[in-house]
Amino acid sequence: MIVLSAQNVAKSFGVNVVLKDVSLTLQQGDRMGLVGVNGCGKSTLMRILAGLESADSGEISMVRGTRIGYLAQQNMVTSGLSVWDELQKVYEPVFEMERRLRELEEEMSRAHEEPARFSRLSSDYDKLLRRFEESDGYSWKSLVSGVLNGLGFKPAQYDQKVDSLSGGEQTRLCLARLLLQKPDLLLLDEPTNHLDMETLTWLENYLTAYRGSVLVISHDRYFLDHVCTCMVEILMGASEQYSGNYTRYIAQRQERFETRMRAYELQQKEIERQQAIIARYRMYNREKSIRAAESREKALERMEKLDKPVDERAIRFRFEARRRTGEDVLMLKDVSKSFGEKHLFAHLDLHVRMGDRVALIGPNGVGKSTLIKLITGDEPADTGVIRYGSNVDIGYYDQHQSALHPEKTVLDEVWDRFPRMEQSDVRGALGMFLFTGDDVFQPIKTLSGGEKGRVALTALMLRKDNLLLLDEPTNHLDMDSREVLEDALSDFGGTIITVSHDRYFINRIANRILEMRPEGVVEYMGNYDDYIEKKNRPVEQETVAGKTRTELEKEKRREKQSKQALRQLKARAQEAEKAIGVKEEEIAQMEAQMADPALYADAEKAAAVQKSYQQAQRDLQALYEAWEEAEAALQEAEG
């Protein structure tokens, strides 16, 4: 069933045409990714679909009664409530149902001598009770705590006023509220902003299991790969729809480009052939041949000319190493680093061999970028030894581009680093990164983050180093530029150490993962998918770099105690769940008894049953709260 259909949507702001001809079809249960370069109109289209803006032309239709939930990139909450109370507002209809249930119970207790009225009240009660249960009346607390926990809110933050949250926390709170509302159609504009890797994984799993339909804008390709069942690309105001996830979309887009290019080239050859025939006919300068030439010219004019397909991935470059390293490229032994009272890592060992692609991952502030700077020599280590192998040439990509000179032009920035090169060669290299014509005379300070990144990549390519240290190299790059960078790094014959939060990039580049956390460093062989599989597999722990046997034994004891506490929490939750089942069965028997008009022949007995029923309901509520507390404690322990 089609949930949402948009046909030939157009939108302009003054003379600026944003959308010219956008169409998409979203089926029930589909999770669609919306992609395109920055400024192509993705967010505008999302606002139009959400009903916040009107289209200039086109048609939008959706199933009658569809409930829409929309998450914008910037969300602010200024209710003055606490985090918990803000989300509790989602369940106000449930609380109203609960109040009405209590009223019906009171009315039923007074209607035992009026069978017809009692029957009507009982019917209303049963219908409302079913709605109450379907609306998560018994489980809303655990759902709220589960979503808050999944989106990175700690129990200590539940009482925090929403006005005091950071911008990123407010966006996550708005996302939590939206998920709890469970709309039929979720419209999400960059929901992955402000989320760490663990929270991203939780959101991916949540959306994959979501029963409604989803339309999402995101630059996180790994997220799009794991969540989406179809994709729509907006390019130059028009749209194309693809089946499958992000990886499948990239393959299909390339196939479509090649098909269009072949059709264009064949048409151009046919045009050239016809023009040659026309020229030959005119050369004869006879009436018959002139008529034939004019006939063919008219046929050419009527021919629908194909536009030459534009390859969006216009950047083309590769990394080369001017010489080979030895087998051993880099060795770190017992390396430690602190800044005052802030201890980043200690007793860190690392052995990097030729051809390794090492990805450093972990939470912000754990020391990933600092470790890169220790390797480059920009920061000294507190303890330990850092040794380089033979013939190692280090190339460093700084995510902040701090080495660029704001007042220099693009051309001078690169040429000053390679003064022996001819200007034409420097401009040719910059041309590979889309700096053409007068673009090369722009001052660095006027460039966007993505443009500065491309200048730095130009210089890095020209250096031809054999050990590349890359600190968040995909930041500020659009999707196509990231794809080209990954292609270039995949073909690179040297060694790579990279810091990145881009899981798709890590998946394509890395063959070793170094997870850095405050409690230590753990190494995993393989790419990001391999890392996730090993993290989730209940196998023997990977080797922890730099830890003594005594420390490992202490960790094992703590882990054993933690597992024992976890078992106790699971037992508490199971006992509460079992008690809920017994109590619900007891209540069902009472309800069957109360539905029998014969009960009310004995007023005292009927009143006693009603009293027992109300007490049972209170007991059930207490059991649910005990179960929710046990579940919340279990989730916190497991998290």
Higher pLDDT, 416 or 166: 416
pLDDT tens digits, 89-143: 999 999 999 999 999 988 888 887 788 888 898 899 999 999 999 998 889 999 9
Number of H helices, E strands in the chain: 19, 19
Question: Does pLDDT of 560 surpass 60?
Answer: no
Q: From residue 225, how far is each of 208, 243, 481, 532 by CA, in Å?
A: 11, 12, 18, 15
- Total number of residues shown for the chain: 639
Q: Are 77 and 165 a contacting pair, CB within 8 Å?
A: yes
User: Residue 313 carries which side chain, given as an amino acid letter?
Assistant: R
| One-letter amino acid of 90 | V
d(CA 520, CA 544): 7
Are 307 and 292 in contact by the 8 Å Cβ rule? The answer is no
Helix, strand or coil, per DSSP, at residue 30: coil
Residue 557 pLDDT = 55
- Which CA distances in Å does 23 have to 30, 250, 488? 16, 19, 34
Tokens 């700077």, residue? 373
- Cα 89 to chain centroid distance, Å, stands at 27
* Token pair of 302 as six digits: 């009527």
More confident residue, 575 or 210: 210
Phi, psi of 310 (to 5 degrees): -100, 125
Q: Is the pLDDT of residue 367 over 50?
A: yes
In terms of DSSP H, where are the helices of 61-191?
A: 83-88, 92-110, 115-134, 140-150, 167-181
Q: Are strands 328-339 and 342-353 parallel, antiparallel or unpaired?
A: antiparallel
Q: Which of 347, 342, 349, 385 is nearest to 367 (CA)?
A: 342
CA 139/CA 131 separation, integer angstroms? 13
Q: What is the average per-residue pLDDT within 500-521?
A: 92
Return the amino acid letter for 323: R
For 236, other C-beta atoms within 10 Å of its C-beta total 13
Q: Which two tokens stand for residue 152?
A: 């990175």
Q: Angle 176-101-184 (CA atoms, 0-180°, nearest 5)?
A: 35
The better pLDDT of the pair 390, 39 is held by 390
| Tokens encoding 366 | 């754990």
Mean pLDDT of 142-148: 93
pLDDT given for residue 89 in this prediction: 92
Lowest mean pLDDT among 233-237, 480-484, 606-610: 606-610
Phi-psi region of 200 (alpha: psi -120 to 50; beta: other; left: phi over 0): alpha
What integer is the mean pLDDT of 552-569? Answer: 61
pLDDT band at 553 (very low <50, low <70, confident <90, very high): low
Q: Is 482 helix (H, G, I), strand (E, B) or coil?
A: helix
What are 9's strand-pairing partners?
A: 22
Least confident stretch, 71-85, 226-240, 254-268: 71-85
Residue 353: predicted pLDDT:
94
Q: Are strands 520-525 and 544-545 parallel, antiparallel or unpaired?
A: antiparallel
Can you tell me the distance from the alpha carbon of 381 to that of 578, in angstroms, rounded to the nearest whole number?
56
Based on C-alpha coordinates, what's the Rg of the chain?
33
The dihedral sign for the CA sequence 168, 172, 173, 178: positive
Q: How confident is the model at residue 598 (pLDDT cuts 50, 70, 90)?
A: confident
Mean of per-residue pLDDT scores for the chain: 88
Distance of alpha carbon 479 from alpha carbon 305, whole angstroms:
30
Note the Cα 351 to chain centre separation in Å.
32
pLDDT tens-digit readout, 196-209? 888 999 999 999 99
Question: Is residue 538 very low, low, confident or very high in pLDDT (cuts 50, 70, 90)?
Answer: low
The first and second tokens of residue 26, run together, are 């979203």
How many CB atoms within 10 Å of residue 84? Answer: 18
The least confident of 337-341, 543-547, 619-623 is 543-547
In this predicted structure, what is the pLDDT of residue 249? 93
- Strand, coil or helix: 86: helix
Cβ-proximal residues to 432 (8 Å cutoff; 6+ apart), any chain: 315, 316, 317, 458, 461
Distance CA 3, CA 229 (A): 15
CA distance 327 to 332: 15
Q: Is the pLDDT of residue 541 over 50?
A: no
For residues 517 and 367, what is the distance between their CA atoms, to the nearest angstrom? 9
pLDDT at 546: 52
The 10s digit of each residue's pLDDT in 278-315 is: 999 888 888 888 898 899 999 999 998 888 887 655 66
Rounded (10°) angle between helices 603-638 and 140-150: 10
CA-based max dimension of the chain: 119
Query: What is residue 542's predicted lDDT score, i.e. its pLDDT?
Result: 44
pLDDT given at position 540: 47
Question: In the structure, what pLDDT confidence band is assigned to residue 565 with cuts at 50, 70 and 90?
Answer: low
The two structure tokens encoding residue 528: 């990001």
Distances (CA, A) of 107 to 122, 124, 317, 337, 360: 10, 11, 78, 71, 65
Could you tell me which of 374, 345, 397, 399 has the C-alpha nearest to residue 516?
345
Strands 357-361, 467-471: parallel, antiparallel or unpaired by DSSP? Answer: unpaired
- DSSP conformation letters of 419-439: TTS-HHHHHHHHHHTT--GGG
Q: What is the pLDDT of residue 592?
A: 80
Contacting residues for 525 by C-beta, under 8 A, at least 6 apart: 511, 512, 513
336 Cα distance to chain centroid: 33
Using a pLDDT cut of 70, give the percent of the chain over it.
93
**Nearest to residue 397, comparing CAs of 371, 372, 379?**
372
Interatomic CA distance for residues 332 and 347, integer angstroms: 9
The one-character DSSP state at 444 is G
- pLDDT over 80 at 545, yes or no: no
* Closest residue by Cα to residue 477 from 38, 17, 29: 38
Strand partners, 495: 467
CB 547, CB 347: distance < 8 Å: yes
Token digits of residue 558: 């703590």
What pLDDT does residue 621 have? 82
Residue 390's pLDDT is 93
Strands 2-13 and 16-27: antiparallel
Instruction: Output the CA–CA distances (angstroms, integers) from residue 451 to 35, 40, 333, 469, 523, in the order listed.
Output: 20, 18, 38, 20, 34
- For the entire predicted model, the pTM comes to 0.74
